[in-house]
């Protein structure tokens, strides 16, 4: 555990990846691994909304059913896993549809799947990734406190599978 000004950085087990806590502990950024630190950032739902307005693409890594039930407006659906089984097409679909240099935001329901998806994309060479750790429905921070997600912040949402946004559409898409 180290202090850097008013912030705190903790190392994980055996000196591995840790957590970074802001001075007020209101948000925490998860550090994936030393080599991935510069390639994956974290953002709150409000920050994600601003990034989307700047040209980032929001990729919802939840299942097709979860996506259809509700997602951030304009999000694309590429499931990372289904019932705990990784989707072997996740990386190839995103590489073919968006490219490794695309500005991508990853989100799930509450954070764990988008973090795993970010790790997989970093390993595949994607370079401009943002993870939204609180997800669509909200999660918990490192201290167990609730963190509101996209839908709880009253940000724009939609339901169903709008044309061009479904997993089937993403599988057929090429740059």
Say which range, 37-41, 92-96, 166-170, has the weakest mean pLDDT.
37-41
Closest CA to 57 of 38, 71, 37: 71
Q: What distance separates the 2 farthest-apart alpha carbons in the chain?
A: 49
Q: Is the pLDDT of residue 2 over 70?
A: no
H-run or E-run covering 86: strand 85-86
- pLDDT tens-place string over residues 39-60: 699 999 999 999 999 999 999 9
Catalytic positions, written as ranges: 108
CB 175 within 8 A of CB 98: yes
- pLDDT tens-place string over residues 77-94: 999 999 989 999 999 999
Q: How far apart, in whole angstroms, are the C-alpha atoms of residue 170 and residue 172?
A: 5
Cα torsion 99, 94, 125, 149: sign: positive
């Amino acid at each position: 555990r180290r202090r850097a000004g008013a912030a705190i950085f903790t190392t994980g087990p055996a000196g591995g990846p840790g957590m970074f806590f802001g001075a007020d502990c209101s948000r925490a950024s998860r550090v994936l691994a030393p080599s991935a630190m510069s390639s994956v950032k974290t953002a709150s739902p409000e920050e994600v909304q601003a990034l989307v307005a700047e040209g980032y693409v929001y990729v919802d890594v939840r299942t097709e059913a979860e996506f259809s039930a509700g997602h951030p407006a304009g999000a694309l659906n590429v499931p990372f896993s289904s019932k705990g089984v990784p989707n072997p097409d996740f990386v190839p679909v995103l590489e073919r549809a968006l490219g490794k240099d695309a500005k991508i935001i990853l989100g799930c329901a509450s954070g764990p799947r988008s973090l795993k998806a970010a790790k997989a994309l970093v390993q595949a060479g994607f370079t401009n990734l943002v993870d939204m750790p609180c997800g669509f429905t909200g999660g918990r921070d490192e201290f167990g406190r609730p963190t509101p997600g996209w839908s709880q912040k009253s940000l724009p949402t939609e339901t169903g599978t709008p044309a061009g946004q479904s997993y089937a559409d993403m599988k057929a898409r090429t740059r």
